[in-house]
Amino acid sequence: MYPASVHIKEVGPRDGLQNEAQFIRTADKVALIDRLSDTGLDYIEVTSFVHPTWIPQLADAVEVLQQIKRRHNITYAALVPNMKGLYRALEADVDEVSVFMSASEGHNRANINKSIDNTFPVLQEVVTEALAAGKTVRGYISTVIGCPYDGKTSPEQVRYVAEHLFEMGVQQLSLGDTIGVGVPTDVDALLTYLLEYYEAEQFAMHFHDTRGTALANVVASLSHGITTFDSAVGGIGGCPYARGASGNVATEDLVYLLEQMGIETGIDLGKMQQTGLFMEQLLQKELPSKLTAVARGE
Ligand code: HMG
Ligand code: MG
């Protein structure tokens, strides 16, 4: 019933840090990413090339990508909203470009300052140029279950955006429960609908744990054949343009759950917990991850 292995994409240095008000020094971000590179992960989203006024924390995106110790077997990815962002990302020689938009109009406008239909041509150009530059391209759809501005999102709205992104040439779509409102029955309804049109391998799930439902939603997704999940070390994260959004499912907690279920992740839990503790030092606070609390000795 469950898959033999799961692919975890670490988004902590991007989704995690973007929500932190206190600026983390570039050298500390680099140290964090270098530690993550040593945990067995093969995918790390390291930063984003958005407008620095919108997300000041990640204004040092080029420097971060240039200073990390890259391993050949790890994909170092970054968010890119438009062509200006793509030029910066290519200058920094990012491995994979992630474009992003929302299934709901309200969040799309708040987050990237455009309507959904006006976002498609912007992302089309980014995807075409990124592929031409030899990069792989991932897509995110936010607010796939609920939106802080518009309320409940329908699976049909998600498919409308997914169809456009796949047609552009996006290779995998990460479906985000941005504000962590979903429960397993919502995930069942969404995936039952989408998998009538697409293959499970075309999707990753991206759960925020605002209401403590992220791991339950992971298990629900596994039973639909989903084998890629995004998570953030320490359980940090959130979108500053989604009121009430909070941390991603913690990578340590996800690794524990999956490995205990007999599902391979390739990640060293002990090293990930130590990285969670390192993240706590950087941010000077206790983080939501349960397995980091275990490592703290609680
Ligand atoms: P805008 O103000 O509409 O941009 O922002 P614009 O195209 O009108 O340009 C205005 C000025 O910004 C121009 O400069 C551009 O050059 C400059 P001027 O000519 O006035 O001097 N500019 C840029 N500068 C640097 N880098 C750029 C860039 N773009 C324009 N890339 C924009 C539109 C999309 C840029 C802005 O709204 C933005 O940056 N939004 C990003 C917000 C964000 O990062 N949100 C969090 C990430 S999404 C998320 O967390 C969800 C996710 O985790 C999944 C989930 O959980 O659901 C992925
Ligand atoms: Mg997110």
Q: Is 241 exposed, middle or buried (0-12, 13-18, 19+ CB in 10 A)?
A: buried
% of the chain surpassing 70 pLDDT:
100
Q: What are phi and psi of 241, to 5 degrees?
A: -105, 20
50 Cβ closer than 6 Å to some ligand 1 atom: yes
Ligand 1 atom at minimal distance to the Cα of residue 49: 31
Calculate ∠ Cα 290-295-298, nearest 5°.
70
Share of the chain above pLDDT 90, in %: 95
Q: Tokens 């924390």 correspond to what residue?
A: 57
Decide whether any atom of ligand 1 lies within 6 Å of the 58 Cβ. Answer: no
Query: Distance, CA 221 to ligand 2 centroid (Å)?
Result: 17
Mean pLDDT of the chain: 96
* 18, 46, 51, 126, best to mutate for ligand 1 pocket (most atoms within 8 Å of CB): 51
Q: Which residues contact 298 (CB under 8 A, 6 or more apart)?
A: none
Query: What per-residue confidence (pLDDT) applies to 152?
Result: 98
- Give dist(CA 26, CA 58) in Å, integer: 9
The predicted-structure confidence for 273-289, as pLDDT tens digits, reads as follows 999 999 999 999 999 99
Supply φ then ψ for residue 183, to 5 degrees. Answer: -125, 165
Q: Is the CB of 140 under 6 A from ligand 1?
A: yes
For residue range 221-252, list pLDDT tens digits in order. Answer: 999 999 999 999 999 998 888 776 789 999 99
Determine the pLDDT at residue 242.
78
How would DSSP label each residue in the chain? ---SB-EEEE-IIIIIGGG-SSPPPHHHHHHHHHHHTTTT-SEEEEEE-S-TTT-GGGTTHHHHHHHS---TTSEEEEE--SHHHHHHHHHTT-SEEEEEEESSHHHHHHHHSS-HHHHHHHHHHHHHHHHHTT-EEEEEEE-SSEETTTEEPPHHHHHHHHHHHHHHT--EEEEEETT----HHHHHHHHHHHTTTS-GGGEEEEEB-TTS-HHHHHHHHHTTT--EEEEBGGG----TTSTT--PBPBHHHHHHHHHHTT-B----HHHHHHHHHHHHHHHTS--S-HHHHHHHT-
Query: What pLDDT sits at residue 239?
Result: 83
Q: What confidence tier does 211 reach under pLDDT thresholds 50, 70, 90? A: very high
Residues 117-156: pLDDT tens digits?
999 999 999 999 999 999 999 999 999 999 999 999 999 9
Pick the residue whose CA is nearest to atom 22 on ligand 1. Answer: 51
pLDDT at 297 (0 to 100): 86
Query: Model-level pTM?
Result: 0.97
**239 belongs to the catalytic site:** yes
Q: Which residue(s) pair with 96 in the sheet?
A: 77, 136
Q: Give the pLDDT of residue 244.
A: 66
